[in-house]
Amino acid sequence: MKIILLQVNTSKLLGSGTFGHVFEGTFNGDPVAVKQMTTTTAEIIQIEMNTHIELNHVNVVKLLDVADSADNNFT
């Protein structure tokens, strides 16, 4: 079993939009942008996830992982 270490710094807001907020964070020690979306928008999350998985371009942020928060308030 592989352990993934994700840390989110919610005091460092990078941006926000209709479906969520983007924060500074680390993923296995590497700096990343972490998008938090409310879990009430499951269909939108699925569409965005599928779109990001298919994208592969130097100017597009790569999707590394998708997970629900421990309290299930965010994806």
Q: Which residues are annotated as a binding site?
A: 35
Q: How many domains does the chain have?
A: 1
The structure tokens listed for 29 are: 């020690």
Q: What is the pLDDT of residue 1?
A: 65
Q: Which residues are annotated as a binding site for ATP?
A: 35
For the segment 11-46, what is each residue's pLDDT rounded down to a tens digit?
999 999 887 899 999 988 899 988 888 766 678 778
The DSSP annotation for the chain comes to: -----EEEEEEEEEEE-SS-EEEEEEETTEEEEEEE-BTT-HHHHHHHHHHHHH---TTSPPP------TTSSB-
Per the CB < 8 A criterion, the answer to whether 1 and 33 are in contact is no
Q: What is the pLDDT of residue 11?
A: 95
CATH number, position 23: 3.30.200.20
N-to-C CA span, the chain = 21
**Which residues form the domain of 15?**
1-75
